[in-house]
Each structure stands twice: as C-alpha cells, then as structure tokens.
Amino acid sequence: MKPSITRYLLAFLPLLFLFFSSCSNYPTQPPSSGSNADQLHSLSKVTFTEDFETGTKTSYASGDVNFTSGTWTLSDALVGTSSSDRKNGSKSVRVRNTGTVTMKFDCVNGASSVTVLHAKFGSDGSSTWGLWYSTDGGITWTQTGSDVTTSSTTLQSAAFNLNVTGNVRFQIRKAGGGANRINFDDFTVNDNLIVANDFLEDFEGGYKGSYSIGNVTFASGTWSLDDALTGTLSGDAKNGLQSIRIRNSGNLTMLFDYPSGASTVTVQHAVFGSDGSSTWQLWYSTDSGSTWSQAGSTVSTSSATLQTASFTLSITGNVRFQIRKISGGSNRINIDDFTISKGSGSGGGGGTPPDEHLVMGNPTGAVHDISYPANYLMQKYQYDLSYNRDNGIPNWTAWHLSSAWLGSVTRQNDFRNDTTLPAGWYQVQSTSYSGSGYDRGHMCPSADRTITVTDNSATFLMTNMIPQAPNNNRGPWAKFESYLRTLVQSGDEIYIYSGGYGSQGTIDNGHVLVPAYTWKVALVLPDGNNDLSRVNSSTRVITIEIPNNNTQVSQSDDWKLFRVSVDYVESQTGYNFLSNVPDSIQAQIESVVDNQ
C-alpha cells in the first residue's frame, strides 16, 4: 500500500521491469522527482492510456502513426483535428466505412479491462464498431464483448471486461454505418496483474463528465457516482490522468462485493483547485449494500495535495465500500487510489496467510522457477498449481473453497491457452483435446468460482485442465464437486487438492499426457479464522481416486464408491499433502478413509 514504499519494493523487485514497460513501446522511465507517494504510484499503477495527441495523419489511406504509446496502423482512418472531431485535447482518431485502428505492439501484462471514448463526427449518423484483441502478435484476432453503437456527438465511454494475461494488442473495427464517421479517443488498458494481494482502484479506466448520478465501470468493477464525476482538469488532484471529484453531499459507492474481507483501507484525498475544506466518511456493507456502517472517524480534507487516509477494520468475507461527503457544501474534493488490504478470515481470494490456497501445504515443494519445468509453481488469484511442462497438465491444483467464492455468475466456457507460461514452453490450446475422446477436465471447477466473471473465466485456462474420460468427469467426479459445495453452503470451508497420476498415453501429438487415475483430497473445516491452527485429529478429510476411463466407471456411479485415504494417494504419487499440518495430526487424519 502507498504509505509503505518498502513493502511494495520488496514484493515487486522481480516485476519492476514489467511495471515500467507494461506495453512494449511505452515510455519506460519512472518519474525523476515528486513525493514518495508519487514515486510509488509509478511502481504500483499498471494502466496504459493512449490519447492520440502526438501523431499526425491527414488522409484515410492506410498507414502507420507513431503515438506516445507506440506505432498504430490507421486504415480508412486519420488523426482528426477539426472542430467537428469529438476529442479530449486537440486530436482524436476519425474512422469511416469499415476502417480499423490497430496497435502494432504488445502490452506485456495482459488486460483486465479496456475503455474507449467514442462519438459521432460532426452531424454524421450512427455507426457500430467492435473491439478485437490478439495474443499472438496480430496473427489471429478475437472480439471481446459486443458491438457498440455510437449515436452521440458527445464522447461516451465504452468499457470491455477481459481476463487476458501475457502479451496482448488491440484493434478497433468499424462494423456498420457506411460512410458515417466515428471519433475515438483515450484508449485505456488496465493490466491484468495482481498487486501484492491487495485491491487497488486508481479510477483511471472509466469516464463520467457530469455530476448527475450514474454508474462507471473501472478496472475493479462498477461504481456509482452521485453528485460526482471523473476529474481530469488541472485543478483535480490526482495520481495519473484522473481521479474522482465529489461535491455537496455526493457519494462514491462500490456496486460489487470484494470477497476477501478487509483489514485496512487507504484512500488518497485532496481539495479540488482552490476550494475550501470539506469532511467525508468511509462506510462499509457486508450484506451487498442493504445496510451500512461507518468505518473509523470523519476525515477532514484541507490540502490541495493528495493525502492518505487510513482505516483499520476487521472484516471477513464479502464487503463493499462507500465514500460520503458530509460537509463543505459546494466545495469539491478529489478521491484517488482506493486500496484494500485483505482480511485474515476465510473469504475468497485472500483468506489465511501466507497463501490462501496453500495454507495446508505445497504437496511437491513446487517453485516458480523455470529450472524446474516438471514442478513449476503457478499462483493464480483463484487457485495455485504445480505445472508439468512436458506432460502439458498440472501435477496438482490447489484451491480454497468458501462461501465468499460462490455467487451467481454463469459459466463462461472460454477455454484458452495460458499465456503466462514461460517463453518457449508449449501452450496447450482450447482445441488440443478435440477428437481425443477425453473431456477438458477442470481441476479447480468452474462452479467453485462464481463470485465474479473474472474468477470463473480463470478456471478455463488449459493449465487447469487434464484429459478426463467423460464417464469420470461427468459422473462421480462432478457429483463429488457438487457435494463439496453443499458442505460450504451449510457452513463449512474446504481446502482442496486435485490431480491425476499414471499414464495411458498422450494426445495433442504427444504434448498432453492422459493420466490413468484422477484423485482429489478435501480437508473440511467449519467456517472460521486461523484455519491451519484449527486442524485437529477429528478434522474430516475426504479423498477419492477414480480410474480415468469409461469401462471401469459409469456416469451413474456414486462418488462414495471411490473413497481412499490420503496415505494411499501419497503412496501412488509421492506427494506430501497437508505438509503444514503437525506430523502427529497428519498421521491420524491421512490414514482414515472417510465414511460419512
């Protein structure tokens, strides 16, 4: 968090290069002066914005233009500077017919969201357009979201939520409207990096130009701004290009739940321009906005330079926040860089330190080091796994399941290769199992991650899959997954490991091993805190092993037919599950075959 630059530096030394060059042609020099907060902001902010101000192109003929971020190809498009061009600043891009605006460079940190400002040129009629992305240097393209209709002569913000990791570049394609022209400006990419296990909203990705109540989608999710807007003027105190400006008794409200609780919240705040002092409060809700409680004391804002307000809390599970301006009348305040440090309870996405998913142990001592390609640790926000490069599947996947991970998000079905694998490693594709007779079998299930679209989508990375026989995957395996969720819905939380062992050949031209057996280990606890310390000799551990074929297994089989002990799976795999649990307790709970 910003008040402690040492904390971030220690956490991110391996990533500093990525932070300073999130897009390959983007300026790489950090600020040379400014406060500690300003310098730290350059490390922690992972936002890329192109305002199209620095390039020139006066004809519609296809050609390349060098902007601040890098080189873009404008086809049937130019840089508009006339009074009829809708723009922030002196320029925007103007596109006609079926023209395109294409990045010729990659953003290396992926993308969690993209926002684009768009409006009709002059008195032209409406048009439609779409946003496309490429993860292979522009060889193939995929559309994200739906086509957008541009019908206003005032710049509007179009937001696209993604879950793309690794290299990515974007293209705007005008899809309808014929010769009608569209202006595009302020193209913003929010990187897909997890910052020090904290939540950071820097309010860079969305746009709202009026004080009337309305919703804005930022990188973290959708926020309601009432008597508030996104401030971009010189009088707005901000880190980056914009912050939130609030007047009168306005408020700023999260319209989504953060699932990991909160131990600390920090907010940057300052008066707007030469306005007088105002006061404001932080409020929180643990029931999705039905009721609210104040956090800490009222804060007075009197400085035109951003200051940090810190609030200490003890919240576990779902929480959302609201900032309420309560005095100062029409004096305006700026709010920026809203940060949450996670709670220490059992909530999804955070939970018990040091790592939520591996609280009970790392079964193979996997490390994030390419020198260990057969036991390569990959830590996602949603789960952790040990990946085997040569087998093309995880040795194991580990995840924590609690009610904070379960919501109403539908299955995304966006199977895809994992671009976060080290350079040069083969990436199993969404089509790699096609025609093999095997399902793309989730280790961490889709239905265990339904609190956000991003969380659900993450389960469809092919590094989270192994080839599973349909009778196994759709039968007892699926039934066991469902049973574990019923335990959570009844008040439990579960630490789960899943994988396969043995071999019955390969698919995908030898790139993907087909395990002979699949297994799962599930340690069940009642909801609570300090989970590791609560494991005792009576703790329930459910372990199953299922033959990975359609002859020994039927889809009608009960999962209970396949129960074994942890010790048995350890003897077959050589792994050491629950290695963080005291040896004496391990010996008791790992030798038992569940019979409940």
- Residue numbers annotated as active site: 442
CA 360/CA 345 separation, integer angstroms: 15
Q: Is the peptide bond before 354 cis (omega within 30 degrees of 0)?
A: yes
What is the dihedral angle through the alpha carbons of 234, 235, 239, 240, rounded to the nearest 10 degrees? -30
Residues 6+ apart with CB under 8 A from 259: 317, 318, 347, 348, 349, 350, 404, 405, 451, 452
Does the CA dihedral 478-482-483-488 come out positive or negative?
A: positive
CA 105/CA 167 separation, integer angstroms: 9
CB 97: neighbour CB atoms within 10 A? Answer: 15
* CA nearest neighbour of 64 among 26, 102, 106, 23: 102
In degrees, rounded to 5, the angle at the alpha carbon of residue 179 between the alpha carbons of residues 173 and 184 is 45
Instruction: Kindly state the tokens that stand for 549.
Output: 């074929």
What is the dihedral angle through the alpha carbons of 455, 459, 464, 468, rounded to the nearest 10 degrees? 160
What amino acid occupies position 326?
I
Q: Output Rg (C-alpha) for the chain, integer angstroms.
A: 26
* CA nearest neighbour of 67 among 17, 14, 103, 41: 103
Residue 118's SS3 state is strand
Residue 402's SS3 state is coil
Q: Which residues pair with 379 in a beta bridge?
A: 384
What amino acid occupies position 370?
I
* CA nearest neighbour of 218 among 193, 243, 236, 184: 243
What amino acid occupies position 546?
I
DSSP secondary structure string for all residues of 447-464: GG--SSHHHHHHTTBGGG
Taking each helix axis as running N to C, give the angle between helix 5-12 and helix 36-44, from 0 to 180 degrees, rounded to the nearest 10.
Answer: 30
Burial of 569 from C-beta contacts in 10 A (0-12 / 13-18 / 19+): buried
* CA nearest neighbour of 279 among 287, 271, 291: 271
Residue 280: DSSP 8-state: E
| The length of the chain, given as a count of residues | 596
What amino acid occupies position 519?
W
CA 416/CA 164 separation, integer angstroms: 10
